[in-house]
């Protein structure tokens, strides 16, 4: 593609003479600008991909992929369950019920989501065992409650302590309707790694939950867990065709606005940060323009000796392209290295600066996530090369307009 003469000219252009020191400075700034632009893009995209994946895993690990609720107190019959099992043999279907309540402890009140777990089901037992950090049981016994780590810290709770829960259901008394109140013993403390869940969700057994909210088995919902959660909407549509008398919704429906916002933010960040590469590419344009101006005489002599316009254009294009290519590769290396060790870097900077970077109570995660995506890196690399190639081509094409006779006469 490039002849030996073209490569030699490009190499000499990359090593400017001492009197052309200003060109060397421009080349260095072009290199650093593109390298940092690529590295920052990779780091930001990796963090945002990691943030999205981590939150998705946390939400999926804590919530069902599809929820089927009865309309108008219509009980979900065993016939419908059998149809689901027949049509979706690889999915798990569990009984569940959730509601809202208030915890009262030491003159402190806080709203909570109370979730009933059917611990007789093996999957729920495994799930509970996986997230428990205190408490030895894989089931929730009658009169026991399992609370999140953050809630336990906030209320100063330990295993065996008593707490009071107020239900959203009112019971009749001689003094009028009063919220139903029950006292439970803390049977375990869990940590999901998701700050909001650890602070605002508690578990009771399914039967205890139904009793607490004054419900019956007619109010039980079905939770569906899929081998591939990303196909939740596809399965949801099939379930609705089996029986449309139930309210069916997926985890994607519940978090649609959240993930749409993440996607928009990621795209906007990509567009904004690519400006760094574009600005750095302008340095290549200015550097090559000055280089061509300074080497007008040499270019004219080369053309007189028989070197074609096309070869000269290619040699100067190769000069800028080499800067962009090496800078892009260096940026990818730095970006990937930084992304792989970003949590260690965060901890180090927090310790040195004595500032909490990425606080868990704001971002809902215990550590800074990062996911290196080869597709994103490829797109960034191609964009960087395309930008630097265009920036190198613009001044190189200007050589074709040079008048050789005038250049030899006046230079």
* pLDDT tens digits along 83-138: 787 788 777 777 788 888 888 877 778 888 888 877 666 666 666 777 787 876 66
pLDDT digits (tens, 9 = 90+) for 35-89: 888 888 888 888 888 877 777 777 776 678 888 887 766 667 667 777 787 788 7
Q: Tell me, what's the pLDDT at 130?
A: 73
**Residue with the larger pLDDT of the pair 30 and 303:** 30
Give 17-30 pLDDT, tens digit per residue: 655 555 566 677 77
pLDDT for residue 152:
87
Q: How confident is the model at residue 320 (pLDDT cuts 50, 70, 90)?
A: confident
Angle at CA of residue 277, ends 15 and 285, nearest 5°: 45
On the question of pLDDT at 177 being above 80, the answer is no
Percent over 90 (pLDDT), the chain: 1
pLDDT band at 333 (very low <50, low <70, confident <90, very high): very high
Domain ranges within the chain, ordered by starting residue: 4-57+258-410, 92-225
**254 or 187: whose pLDDT is higher?**
187
In this prediction, what percent of the chain has a pLDDT beyond 70? 76
**pLDDT tens sequence across 278-290:** 777 777 777 667 6
Per residue in 342-367, pLDDT (tens digit) is 888 888 887 787 777 766 666 666 67
What is the pTM for the complete model shown?
0.62
Helix H, strand E, coil C: the string for the chain is CCCHHHHHHHHHHHCCCHHHHHHHHHHHHHHHHHHHHHHHHHHHHHHHHHHHHHHHHHHHHHCCCEEEEECCCCCCCHHHHHHHHHHCCCCEEEEEEEEEEEEEECCEEEEEEEEEECCCCHHHHHHHHHHEEECCCCCCCCCEEEEEHHHHHHHCCCCCCEEEEEEEEEEEECCEEEEEEEEEEEEEEECCCEHHHHHHEEEEEHHHHHHHCCCCHHHCEEEEECCCHHHHHHHHHHHHHHCCCEEEEEHHHHCHHHHHHHHHHHHHHHHHHHHHHHHHHHHHHHHHHHHHHHCHHHHHHHHHCCCCHHHHHHHHHHHHHHHHHHHHHHHHHHHHHHHHCHHHHHHHHHHHHCCCCCCHHHHCECCCCCCCCHHHHHHHHHHHHHHHHHHHHHHHHHHHHCCHHHHHHHC
């Amino acid at each position: 593609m490039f002849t030996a003469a073209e490569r030699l000219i490009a190499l000499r252009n990359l090593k400017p003479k001492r009197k052309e020191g200003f060109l060397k400075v421009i080349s260095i700034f072009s290199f650093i600008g593109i390298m940092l632009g690529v590295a920052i893009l990779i780091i930001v995209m990796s963090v945002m991909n990691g943030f999205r994946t981590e939150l998705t895993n946390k939400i999926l690990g804590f919530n069902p992929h599809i929820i089927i609720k009865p309309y108008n107190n219509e009980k979900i019959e065993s016939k419908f369950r059998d149809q689901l099992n027949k049509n979706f043999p690889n999915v798990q279907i569990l009984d569940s019920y959730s509601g809202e309540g208030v915890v009262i402890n030491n003159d402190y009140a806080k709203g909570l989501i109370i979730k009933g777990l059917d611990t007789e089901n093996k999957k729920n037992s495994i799930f509970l065992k996986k997230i428990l950090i205190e408490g030895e049981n894989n089931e929730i016994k009658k009169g026991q409650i399992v609370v999140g780590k953050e809630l336990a810290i906030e209320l100063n709770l330990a295993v065996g302590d008593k707490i009071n829960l107020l239900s959203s259901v009112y019971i009749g008394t001689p003094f009028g309707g009063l919220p139903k109140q029950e006292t439970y013993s803390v049977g375990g403390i869990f940590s999901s790694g998701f700050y909001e869940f650890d602070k605002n969700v508690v578990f009771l057994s399914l039967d205890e939950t139904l009793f607490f909210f004054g419900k019956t088995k007619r109010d039980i919902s079905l939770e569906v867990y899929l081998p591939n959660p990303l196909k939740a909407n596809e399965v949801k549509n099939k379930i609705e065709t089996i029986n449309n008398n139930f309210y069916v919704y997926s985890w994607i429906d519940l978090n649609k606005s959240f993930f749409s916002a993440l996607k928009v933010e990621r795209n906007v960040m990509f567009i904004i940060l690519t400006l760094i590469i574009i600005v750095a590419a302008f340095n290549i344009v200015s550097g090559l323009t000055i280089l061509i101006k300074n080497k007008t005489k040499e270019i004219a002599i080369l053309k007189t000796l028989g070197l074609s316009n096309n070869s000269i254009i290619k040699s100067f294009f190769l000069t800028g392209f080499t800067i962009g290519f090496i800078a892009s590769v260096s940026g990818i290396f730095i970006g990937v290295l930084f992304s792989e060790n970003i949590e260690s870097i965060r901890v180090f900077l927090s310790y040195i600066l004595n500032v909490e970077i990425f606080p868990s109570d704001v971002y809902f995660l215990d550590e800074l996530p990062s996911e290196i995506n080869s597709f994103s890196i490829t797109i960034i690399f191609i964009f960087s090369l395309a930008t630097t190639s265009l920036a190198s081509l613009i001044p190189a094409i200007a050589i074709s307009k040079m008048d050789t006779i005038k250049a030899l006469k006046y230079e």
